[in-house]
Amino acid sequence: MHIPKTLRPLTAGVSCLVQLSLVMASVGAQHPVLAPTVDTTIVVSAAALHYSAIAIPTGVTVRFVAPGFGPQSLPGMSAIVLCDGDAIVHGTLSVAGDSTNAYAAGWVTIGAGNYGTQCGSGLNSLYFPPQGGRHGGTYGSVVPFSLEGGGLGGSLDVYDSSCFQFLHSNGGGHPGGTLALLAGGRIEIHGAVTADGHHYMSSSGGSGGSILLRGNGGVLVQPTGSVTALGGVSTGTTPPPVANGAPGYIRLDAWGAAPVILGTVNPPPTVLTLPFLRVPSPPQIGSLWTLDVHAPDGAPVFVSVSLQPVPGTPTPFGLLGIDLSFAASLGVSVAQSSHDPVAHAALAVPNAPVFIGLSLWAQGLVVPPALPARLTNTVAVTVQ
């Protein structure tokens, strides 16, 4: 991998983005500031929500919900929130399920729990518990970040003691949805960001949803802060047993440094220092080997593969982990526009058994238009 001498860390870094957002706010920003003083419900659409800055005060909840009413709410309509500057949350950002008929933005039908049955009550009753909503480990992924939220808890169908006459159905708990908050500045969580599922006492819990927090200026979960995507958990005892919802996914990204977690993040998150090089599968002889680089929209990405590593040589772009004298460039690609933009590089591996067992080291260099150029992590692989 040849690093051009002309490449230098760009001066329009995070601090410039923050200053620019403040200037824009003072002279009339192109996008509004999200800074409500009372609880606010925002109905999402197919387009991303775009703000110049976000400031949620203590005691205020902003909830993102899907269009529609109750079960007729549109599934898969996630809350993708773009923020030009800083996003500071002292209150609550929510795509959590609750007992209202406003379903969380991003809920899906995929992971709905199976229904249960109850006939009569007391010692002679028959009870087959409903299943909780499913998510993490069942569908979706955290890298790359899929936008599917949580699944509904299974309903409980109630019959008379003969199990013949249907009486009523207790709906399952509502699931958490999906929130992807993408900030040009920093993200600080003093309060809560939640995609928790909901649980009805006499039925099953909805599953947790999905949360992606990406801050170009860093991500910090303060000691008082929490980020959660847990399944709905029963607090009742009748009828036993009831099924809780499964957890969802959480991912935290920051440019050039790892996110800092001082508070609560549950379930345990996937934490990425961007740019991030990922190898979906090891190279195999006679096939095309693909490498993915998570980088900003439109950023040029250079990827090289070497026969030798180096022990973290400092450069203006971060630590170099490959020996350039033994490296071959895979060319330049550009990260595609997305809530989770990725650039792809590929290497044709010769169909020669002599290469089986060969060790390779890969690393990339990303040069965004408005952030300092950075090296990715180094990935070691073995040809199969």
Question: Per-residue pLDDT tens for 118-163?
Answer: 887 766 678 888 888 999 999 999 999 999 999 998 888 888 888 8
- 328 or 7: which carries more pLDDT confidence? 328
Phi, psi of 332, deg, nearest 5: -115, 135
> Measuring CA to CA, which residue among 375, 372, 373 is closest to residue 364?
375
How many whole angstroms separate alpha carbon 253 and alpha carbon 275?
9
Q: What is the pLDDT of residue 99?
A: 83
Q: Which domains does the chain possess?
A: 31-273 (no CATH), 276-382 (2.20.130.20)
DSSP collapsed to 3 states, 209-240? CEEEEEECCCEEECCCCEEECCCCCCCCCCCC
The alpha carbon of 270 is separated from its chain's Cα centroid by a whole number of angstroms, namely: 9
Per residue in 200-218, pLDDT (tens digit) is 766 788 999 999 999 999 9
Q: How confident is the model at residue 183 (pLDDT cuts 50, 70, 90)?
A: very high
pTM of the model: 0.87
Interior CA angle at 79 toward 75 and 83, to 5°? 170
Residue with tokens 């957002």: 21
Q: How confident is the model at residue 16 (pLDDT cuts 50, 70, 90)?
A: very low
Token pair listed for 166: 């249907």
Q: What is the mean predicted confidence (pLDDT) over 36-55?
A: 96
Q: What is the pLDDT of residue 236?
A: 59
Cβ of 55: how many Cβ atoms within 10 Å?
17
Per residue in 314-350, pLDDT (tens digit) is 999 999 999 999 988 887 788 788 899 999 999 899 9
